[in-house]
Structure 1
């Protein structure tokens, strides 16, 4: 895909990774739509991107329900007369509890539900719009962390990203919609001191760009190594 002519929607655009992803795609010449629940952080990202490109817009989303997400895509259609070519489905929430945590069952269930429903609702809405417009689109599921001092339980997040990526790719291949995933490569010895997030973040962005650009990449997850 030619990124320079693409309409790119970036979720959690106010997060650390979301902001950097947004700036990167603006530098590549894409038409970028930013969305986030946190208005202040969203505006900060928007103002940063405006220094790079005038072809960027922000959309404050009140929640991640289907109705709110459809309002986002209505905004994209109104702005550009088309559905997006690319969804960067950026999850920057907390990691899921580990099996041996003292957390309650309700806490784990809530965390899994929030992550799964958020990723799924964005993915489903995007796929519906791309299919309606008969687009050869791309969905990239990306996992990142805001607090890189605590990496415990993050493997659960990456596993969910991998599962969604592989199953969605099978469903959407007949419609020429590709699905890829990008996650940090965590090792058993990873810790806040050893885990150099800035370097991994750069690799996450490079891998995201690679998936969007490579017409043959689908159904696989790339790990961002240091």
Structure 2
């Protein structure tokens, strides 16, 4: 599998799944446009990718909740490479939220803007470019949208909406030769819980208590490998799918 001369735009590339995806595509010789709100971590990912691929990696520091930042990331990519072949949306946050919380609407709006609206905006801007290259989109969702988690209204709602959005745009873009799929990871050890406000002890306790039918926590590399497959010609007949990789979590 190779992505030589293919331009791959990855959001959330500064850490976690997005970082792993960027590094995996660097190993597959892709030309990379990496986007993240964290400039320091984004540069670290880019440095690793450049060491692997021996070619320049484009980085754009962006708050994807801001439409102009999303547009800047797309414009920078086109200016640098002249095309976009693959768009992988990994940027996302988790914030707990109960219907009884006094700040629910504020939290809900923030999560929806980050996990859903930013993807809609990015897709709207890149779809015409992907039509030109007959490219594809891979959205990183979550298995959490299937069995809803307790006190997780904003996150679960955003993820469920993202899955439906993926299906809808797959239908819209199929006649244009553009494929769209989503990946639904289960429990993956990233920094998403720390970023939600959990301390290290709480985070470690969560992972220690995590239980799946296959009795394992996923590695980011596993998500990256599936993303590369879905973006490759090996998946040329696959569109509109939501692919679980969750060690059986959705079966519980």
Per the normalisation by structure 1, the TM-score is 0.82
Change (3 A) 1:173 1:91: same
Deviations 1:145-178 (A, max 9, x none): 9xxxxx7535434312211110110111111111
- 1:158 and 1:98 mapped to 2: Cα distance? 16
Q: Is the 8 A contact 2:180 2:240 kept in 1?
A: yes
Alignment of 1:138-217 (within 5 A): 138-143=136-141, 152=150, 153=152, 155-185=156-186, 192-193=207-208, 194=210, 196-197=216-217, 199-213=218-232, 214-217=235-238
* 1:96–1:87 distance in 2 versus 1, CA, 3 Å: farther
1:57 has 2:54 as partner: no
Q: How does 1:94-113 map to 2 (within 5 A)?
A: 94-95=94-95, 97-99=97-99, 103-113=103-113
TM-superposed CA distance for 1:119, in Å, is: 1.1
Sort the Cα spacing of 1:33 and 1:73 in 2 relative to 1 into closer, same or farther, 3 A.
same
Tell me the equivalent position of 2:197: none
Rounded to whole Å, the distance in 2 between the matches of 1:135 and 1:183 is 26
- 2:36, 2:42 within 8 Å by CA — same for their partners in 1? yes
SS of the residue aligned with 1:52? helix
Structure 1 residue 138 displacement after superposition: 0.5
Aligned to 2:195: none
SS of alignment partner, residue 33 of structure 2: strand
Q: Tell me the distance in 1 between the aligned counterparts of 2:220 and 2:157.
A: 19
Correspondence for 2:36: 36
Say what the alpha-carbon RMSD is for the aligned residues: 2.5
Q: Does the 8 Å CA contact 2:8/2:32 hold for their aligned counterparts?
A: yes
* Displacement after TM superposition at 1:103 (Å): 4.9
For 1:219, what is the secondary structure of its paired residue? coil
Displacement of 1:60: 1.8
In structure 2, C-alpha distance between the alignment counterparts of 1:66 and 1:60, rounded to whole Å: 13
TM-superposed deviation, 1:96? 6.1
Gaps of 5+ in 2: 144-148, 188-205, 248-252
Q: Does structure 2 retain, via aligned residues, the 8 Å contact 1:9–1:32?
A: yes
User: Is structure 2 residue 224 aligned with structure 1 residue 224?
Assistant: no
Note the C-alpha offset of 1:28: 0.7
Counterpart CA distance in 1 for 2:121 and 2:96 is 19
Aligned residues: 213
Give me the whole-angstrom Cα distance separating, in 1, the residues matched to 2:123 and 2:96.
20
